[in-house]
Each structure stands twice: as structure tokens, then as C-alpha cells.
């Protein structure tokens, strides 16, 4: 079922809730510039295994409201808290991809992991998507600036070019068109401002505040969030496990979906 949750007086975010009677809950946070629908190949499988799968469309994306602002990690984490409270979630697994992974990390630090029993990060944009002094592993800020400039001048072309970084293996043109359909549901404003967020914000101090068991899944061919980011997450989060995906780029939850789903379920079922 799908419904809206009010997270600010004039802002509602869309929530898709599949198998509400599932024994264990997974709350999925999508990456930029997608929507919860990107997790179709998890939502097709995991509910049949007894899991409740909840997907949030981040503000500005998918079916959620698209205010002018703000678009930053604190606001995104607060939106997640609003959903958690509205649905009265507890003892759930928080799972985030790319910028959704960054949002999950900020939620754990800012809201002290409220309700979360386990954390799953996949191709997460943490601790920083961009390079910084003493941290040479991310994208250059110039590269992100180019994405922002192209978003304002020719967003369709920017999104089409982005696919060259997103996938390691060949995808069909219909699948490529579907991905772009998901991305077009966002506004240019939200697309650009979230890019500004992952260009400028970092999570170095947040990692050490995570106190729950954490699974880190990452493709070795990731050209968006480089593999070094996963290593930094593993080093910064106590009680974390890192699993590499040898045949994936940034979209490991699709490119190696069977392995992804199995690793996620195995992690959740562990005591």
C-alpha cells in the first residue's frame, strides 16, 4: 500500500509499504536521483520471504512533495524520523543506497538510531562523496559542479550520461529508459540541490556514533562512490561487516540482485 506522511506543515513524503504484516521490517532509502521504485527487485522478493519492505521517496523525488528547499542531510534525516514515528516503527533494519546511505548514517547520528536495530549501507555516499584534505578518495568537486551545471542546462542529457557511471554490466535500453523515467519524477531544483548537499557535506564524525550491527555492501567497479568509501565506512563503524560485489558498479542491488538479497536477509536473520 502507498500513503503520504506529513514531515513538515507543508511537506508530505510518499511511503510504499509492502507486506505490513511481515515479521521483520526493512526501511529502504533510495539514492540520487531515483525513487523507492528502484528497489523493485528487492520488493519483488523479500516480502515473499516474510519481510515488511518500506520505501520512502525522498522529498523532491518520486511521488513526494517537491518544495523549493531545504535539501540537506539533516532535513532528510528528520524526514526519516517523521516516517518512523508516523508508522511507529521499532527494531527495524535501516537500509540506504548512495545518498540514501548518507541519509541513513546522518539519521543514526542525529537521531541516535531511534528504532533501528541494524543498519545496511550499500554503495553509500559516506563519509564523503567528494575529495577533501587528507581524504583523496571521492569525486572532485569540479565533477559534481559539472553535474549541477548540466542539471540546470540539459537535465535529460546529464541523466543519460550518468548511466555510464551507474552500471558495470550492460543493461537493455528499455531498462535504461525505465531508470530515466524514475529520475524524471524529480524536479531539476531538487536534483541540483541534493547534488550540492553531497558535494559539500560530510559524515566523518557521524560514523563513530553508529552503535548497531552494520552491513556494508559495495561494488568493486563503483565509479560514483568509489570502493575506498566502503573501506572508510568499515574502519569508522564498529561492529561492521564489509562484503564486496565483484560484478557490480553503483547499482549492486540490481546487477547482483540475488547475492544482494541473500546477503541482506542473512544479515537480518543473524542474532
Euclidean distance between CA atoms 122 and 144, whole angstroms? 20
**Model pLDDT for residues 25-50, shown as the tens digit of each residue:** 999 999 999 999 999 999 999 999 99
At residue 234 the predicted structure's pLDDT band, cuts being 50, 70 and 90, is very high
What's the chain's average pLDDT? Answer: 97
**Per annotation, catalytic residue among 36, 197, 222, 248:** 222
pLDDT at 35: 98
Instruction: Judge whether 206 counts as a catalytic residue.
Output: no
CB 125 within 8 A of CB 201: no
Beta strands in the chain (DSSP E): 2-8, 11-18, 24-29, 51-56, 92-97, 116-122, 214-219, 240-245
Cα torsion 208, 211, 213, 214: sign: negative
Cα torsion 28, 64, 99, 77: sign: negative
CB atoms within 10 A of CB 184: 13
Phi, psi of 12 (to 5 degrees): -120, 140
Query: pTM here?
Result: 0.97
Instruction: Judge whether 222 counts as a catalytic residue.
Output: yes
pLDDT at 160: 93
Please compute the mean of the pLDDT values over residues 12-24 and round it to a whole number: 98
**Model pLDDT for residues 183-209, shown as the tens digit of each residue:** 999 999 999 999 999 999 999 999 999
**Which cell numbers hold the place of 254?**
540490481
Instruction: Judge whether 250 counts as a catalytic residue.
Output: yes
Stretch (H or E) spanning 255:
helix 252-255
CATH class of this structure's domain 2-269: alpha beta
**Per annotation, catalytic residue among 36, 97, 218, 250:** 250
At residue 90 the predicted structure's pLDDT band, cuts being 50, 70 and 90, is very high
Stretch (H or E) spanning 102:
helix 99-110
**Per annotation, catalytic residue among 36, 64, 97, 98:** 98
Domain ranges of the chain: 2-269
Euclidean distance between CA atoms 217 and 221, whole angstroms? 12
Please compute the mean of the pLDDT values over residues 142-171 and round it to a whole number: 95
Amino acid at each position: 500500500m502507498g500513503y503520504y506522511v506529513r514531515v513538515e506543515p507543508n511537506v508530505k513524503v510518499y511511503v510504499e509499504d509492502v507486506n505490513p504484516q511481515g515479521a521483520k521490517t526493512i526501511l529502504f532509502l533510495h539514492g540520487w536521483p531515483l525513487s523507492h521504485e528502484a528497489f523493485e527487485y528487492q520488493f519483488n522478493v523479500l516480502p515473499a520471504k516474510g519481510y515488511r519492505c518500506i520505501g520512502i521517496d525522498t522529498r523532491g523525488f518520486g511521488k513526494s512533495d517537491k518544495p523549493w528547499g531545504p535539501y540537506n542531510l539533516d532535513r532528510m534525516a528528520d524526514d526519516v524520523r517523521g516516517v518512523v514515528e508516523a508508522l511507529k516503527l521499532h527494531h527495524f533494519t535501516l537500509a540506504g543506497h548512495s545518498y540514501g546511505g548518507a541519509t541513513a548514517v546522518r539519521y543514526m547520528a542525529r537521531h541516535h538510531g531511534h528504532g533501528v536495530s541494524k543498519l545496511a549501507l550499500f554503495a553509500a555516499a559516506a563519509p564523503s562523496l567528494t575529495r577533501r584534505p587528507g581524504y583523496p578518495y571521492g569525486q572532485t568537486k569540479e565533477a559534481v559542479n559539472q553535474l549541477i551545471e548540466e542539471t540546470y542546462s540539459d537535465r535529460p542529457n546529464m541523466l543519460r550520461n550518468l548511466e555510464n557511471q551507474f552500471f558495470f554490466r550492460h543493461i537493455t535500453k528499455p531498462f535504461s529508459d525505465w531508470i530515466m523515467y524514475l529520475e524524471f519524477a524529480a524536479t531539476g531544483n531538487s536534483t541540483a540541490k541534493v547534488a550540492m548537499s553531497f558535494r559539500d557535506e560530510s559524515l566523518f564524525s557521524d560514523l563513530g556514533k553508529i552503535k548497531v550491527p552494520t552491513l556494508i555492501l559495495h561494488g568493486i567497479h563503483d565509479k560514483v562512490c568509489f570502493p575506498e568509501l566502503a573501506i572508510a565506512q568499515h574502519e569508522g563503524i564498529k561492529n561492521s561487516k564489509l562484503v564486496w560485489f565483484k560484478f557490480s558498479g553503483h547499482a549492486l542491488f540490481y546487477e547482483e540482485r540475488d547475492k544482494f538479497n541473500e546477503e541482506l536477509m542473512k544479515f537480518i536473520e543473524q542474532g
